[in-house]
Structure 1
Amino acid sequence: MVYRKTRKAHFAMAFLLLVLASNFLLYQPSVQDFLSLQVTREAVIGSLIDLAIVVPFLFYLAFKISIKQTIGLMVAGLVIARLIIPSELFASYAVILYSGVAIEALLILAELGLLFLVIWKVPQIRRDIEETALFSLLPAVEKVVTKNIFIQIVMSELLMMYYVFFSWNKKAPNHAGVVTMHKKTSAVAMNIMLIHAIVIETIGLHWWLHEKSIVLSIIILILNIYTVLFFIADIQITRLHPLEIKNGKLYITQGLTARIIVPLSKIKDVEWGGVLPSKETLQFIYRDFEEVVPHGVIYLHEPIEATTFMGMKKSVTEFSIRVDEPEKLKALLGKLE
C-alpha cells in the first residue's frame, strides 16, 4: 500500500484513526462505566458498518490499494469486530463474519490457482527469460498470468532465495557498457555489519524471550532469519549487477529494492552534477557512511514502469543515479546534457 500524500488522504487518515479509536473505546468496560454507556444492538450494527465498510473506504482514499485488497480489509474489519465486541453481543452477527471469511478463502484459492498455473508453465517461462532472471523473470511470468500482486510477491521471494543460495558461482558482467555503482561506497560493508548485528541480537533476544514467550521468540527468530537472507541477496545483486548499457537499453538496479530497464531512445535529458532530486524521484544510489548526492538525474520522454520492493510496480519519468565512474557513464549515454 502506497500513501497518496494528498489533502484528501490526510483527512481520510485522520478519520480512519478516529473511527478505529472510537470503536475500540466503546467496548472498554472502564469507558462504559465512566460515561454511563450501555451498548445496544444498534451500536454493534454501527461498529460492523464502521469496521467492514467505512474503514476500508477510508483506507482506499488514503492509500493506493486494489479492489482485492479492499475486500481483504473488509474481512479484516469483521475479524477486528469479533475481537473487540463482546461475544454475547456479536453472536447474532457471526454469520456475517463467516461469510466474509468464506469469500476471502475463495480469493486465496484463486490466487493459489494462479500459482499452480505458473508452476505448470515453468518450461514456457524459462524460454521467455532472455536476460538475467533479475530483470526478465517477472515479465516472463506476467505473460502467463498477467499482473497479479500475489504472484509478484512470490516471484520476488524466489528471486531473493536464488541469489542467496544459487548465485555464488556467478560473475559480474565485464564489457565496455558496464559501470559499477558500489565499489566506491560502503554499501556491502554496511550490509555485512547489519547481518552481524542481527545475528548477535537474535542470539541474545531469542535466549531471553524464549523463557518469556515461546511464540513471540519464534516469530522474531523467523523475521530475523528472513532479514539476514534479504541482506545476503542484496549483497549478491549489488556485486553481480552493475549498471549496464547493452542492446540499446540501460539496465540499472539497486539490490532488491528497485530496478528498471530503459531504452536509450526514451531518455529525454540527463542533468549532470550534484543535483538534488525531488522526494518522488526514484533513486539508484547505494548507501554510504556519509551522505551522498547523485551524479545526475535522468529524465524520460514518457513514463516507464520500474520494479520496486517485493515486485511492486512504479511508473517513473525521472530517476537519479550515482556511479563509480560518472565520466564513463556520460560517454556511454552520448554526453546527453
Structure 2
Amino acid sequence: MVYRKNRKAHLAMAFLFLVLTSNFLLYQTGVQEFLSLQVTSGVAIGSLIDLAIIAPLLFYAAFKITIKQTIGLMVAGLVIARIFIPFELFAPFAGILYTGIAIEALLVLAELGLLFLVIWKVPQIRKQMKKMNEDPIYSMLPAIEKVVTKNVFIQIFMSEILMMYYAFFTWKKKAPSYASVVTMHEKTSAVAINIMLIHAILIETIGLHWWLHEKSLILSIVLLLLNIYSVTFVLADIQVTRLHPMEIKSGKLYITQGFASRIIVPLSNIKEVEWGGSPPSKNTVKFMYKDFEEVDPQAIVYLHEAVQATMFLGMKKSVTEFAIRVDEPEKLKHLLQDI
C-alpha cells in the first residue's frame, strides 16, 4: 500500500475524512437534536453505500492497493456501519454484513492455505536461495516468489520471519571484508541512535505499561506487544546495518539501508553516477544512514532501466535513481570508475 502523492489522492483523502466524519456525527443524539434530524432506514441505506462502497473507492483513489484489499475495505466499511448505525436501523441489512464477513473469511483461508504451502516448500525455497548465492536479506523473498507465488500476505509474513532471523540468530556472523566492500554506517551514529531508541522503548514500556495496567489491561497488553515488535525491528535493523555494507560482486551492486530498504543493481544498468551534484528530488530513494546531524548524499546514481527496490514489509518500489552516502567515497569512485 503506497500513497499516490498527487492532487487526486489529496482530494480523495479529504473526501474520505468527510464521509467518515459526517456518517459518525449523523448518528450522534446531540447532533440529531441540534439539527432536528429524523434518522430513517433510508438514511441507514445511504450510510451503508457511503461506508461500504464510496469510502473504499476513495481509499483506492488515494492509495495503490489491490482489488482484494479493496474488498477487505468494503467488509471493514460494513463493520464500521454496524458500529455507527443503531441496531434497530441496521437489523434489516445484517445479512449483507454476514455475507461480507463470510467472503473475507474465505479470502483469509485462501491466504492461510498459501502460508502452509510456503511451509511445505521450505526445502525448495532453501535450495533456491543457495542457487542464488546471495545473503538472506536479498534472496529470501525472491526465492519464495519464484518457488511459491507473489502474494502480499506471504510477502509481509515472510518479511517478519526474516526480521526475527536477523534480530535473534545472526549475532555470531561477521560482516564481509574484501576489496569491493564499502561500509556505510561506521562514520555515522546509526547504530548508536538505534541503541538509544531501544533504551527509550524499554523505559517507556516499564513506566507506561505499569500505569496503563491499572487503567486498561487490554490497552497495556497491546502497547506491550507493539513495543516488543519495535525492539525486535530495531535489533534486526542494527544487524542488517552491521552485516551488510555496500558490496560489488558478480557484476552487481548490493545496497541496504538497515532492514527498511534494499536494492540490487546490475553494474551494466548504471547510466551515470553524479558526485556532489544537485540535491535529490522527493521521489529519489535514499540509501543513507541517519546521524545526529542532517547529512547530504555524496552521489546520485541514475539507471538505464528501472529496478525493483524492496522496502518495509517487503513492499516493492520501482527505482530509476537513488542517492547514496558511504564512509569511503574515494574507494567507491575507484570501484565504479569504469562504468
TM range (shorter): over 0.9
Residue in structure 2 matching 1:281, options 264, 281, 284: 284
The one-letter code of the counterpart of 2:326 is V
Quote how far apart the aligned CAs of 1:145 are. 2.6
Work out the CA distance in 2 between the residues paired with 1:335 and 1:181.
Answer: 22
Residue in structure 2 matching 1:259, options 257, 262, 267: 262
The one-letter code of the counterpart of 1:259 is R
Indicate conservation of the 8 Å contact 2:277/2:300, yes or no: no
Quote how far apart the aligned CAs of 1:224 are. 0.5
Indicate conservation of the 8 Å contact 1:285/1:320, yes or no: yes
The one-letter code of the counterpart of 2:27 is Y
Spell out, residue by residue over 1:46-103, the C-alpha distance to the aligned partner (whole angstroms, 9 max, x if none): 1001100000001111111111110010000000000010111111111100000000
The one-letter code of the counterpart of 1:253 is T
What's the Cα RMSD here? 0.9
Aligned residue number for residue 251 of structure 2: 248
Residues 1:163 and 2:166 are matched in the alignment: yes
Spell out, residue by residue over 1:265-304, the C-alpha distance to the aligned partner (whole angstroms, 9 max, x if none): 0000000015410111010000000010011000000110
Indicate conservation of the 8 Å contact 1:275/1:295, yes or no: no
The one-letter code of the counterpart of 1:98 is Y
Indicate conservation of the 8 Å contact 1:152/1:311, yes or no: yes
Aligned residue number for residue 325 of structure 2: 322
Quote how far apart the aligned CAs of 1:230 are. 0.6
Work out the CA distance in 2 between the residues paired with 1:277 and 1:284.
Answer: 12
Quote how far apart the aligned CAs of 1:10 are. 1.6
1:1-337 counterparts in 2 under 5 A? Answer: 1-129=1-129, 130-273=133-276, 275-334=278-337, 336=339
Q: Which runs of 5+ in 1 are unaligned?
A: none
Q: Which region of structure 1 is more displaced relative to structure 2, 18-27 or 273-282?
A: 273-282
SS in 2 for 1:101: helix
Work out the CA distance in 1 between the residues paired with 2:116 and 2:231.
Answer: 28
The one-letter code of the counterpart of 2:271 is K
SS in 2 for 1:256: coil
Work out the CA distance in 1 between the residues paired with 2:53 and 2:338.
Answer: 54
Work out the CA distance in 2 between the residues paired with 1:55 and 1:287.
Answer: 37
Quote how far apart the aligned CAs of 1:146 are. 2.4
Indicate conservation of the 8 Å contact 1:274/1:293, yes or no: no
Work out the CA distance in 2 between the residues paired with 1:13 and 1:233.
Answer: 33
The one-letter code of the counterpart of 1:241 is H
Quote how far apart the aligned CAs of 1:180 are. 0.2
Change (3 A) 1:195 1:274: farther
The one-letter code of the counterpart of 1:245 is I
SS in 2 for 1:9: helix
Quote how far apart the aligned CAs of 1:3 are. 1.3
Work out the CA distance in 2 between the residues paired with 1:20 and 1:165.
Answer: 42
Indicate conservation of the 8 Å contact 2:247/2:254, yes or no: yes
Work out the CA distance in 2 between the residues paired with 1:41 and 1:55.
Answer: 20
SS in 2 for 1:300: strand
Quote how far apart the aligned CAs of 1:5 are. 1.4
Indicate conservation of the 8 Å contact 1:275/1:296, yes or no: no
The one-letter code of the counterpart of 1:300 is L
Percent identity reads 74
Spell out, residue by residue over 1:103-147, the C-alpha distance to the aligned partner (whole angstroms, 9 max, x if none): 000000111111111111111100110211100000000012321
Work out the CA distance in 2 between the residues paired with 1:211 and 1:19.
Answer: 36
Work out the CA distance in 2 between the residues paired with 1:133 and 1:2.
Answer: 25
Indicate conservation of the 8 Å contact 1:298/1:320, yes or no: yes
Q: How many residues align?
A: 336
Work out the CA distance in 1 between the residues paired with 2:201 and 2:187.
Answer: 25
SS in 2 for 1:81: helix
Work out the CA distance in 1 between the residues paired with 2:4 and 2:49.
Answer: 24
Spell out, residue by residue over 1:183-224, the C-alpha distance to the aligned partner (whole angstroms, 9 max, x if none): 000000000000001101100000111000000000001101
Instruction: Show structure 1 runs of 4+ deviating over 3 A.
Output: none
Work out the CA distance in 1 between the residues paired with 2:150 and 2:292.
Answer: 38
Indicate conservation of the 8 Å contact 2:75/2:100, yes or no: yes
Work out the CA distance in 1 between the residues paired with 2:323 and 2:126.
Answer: 32
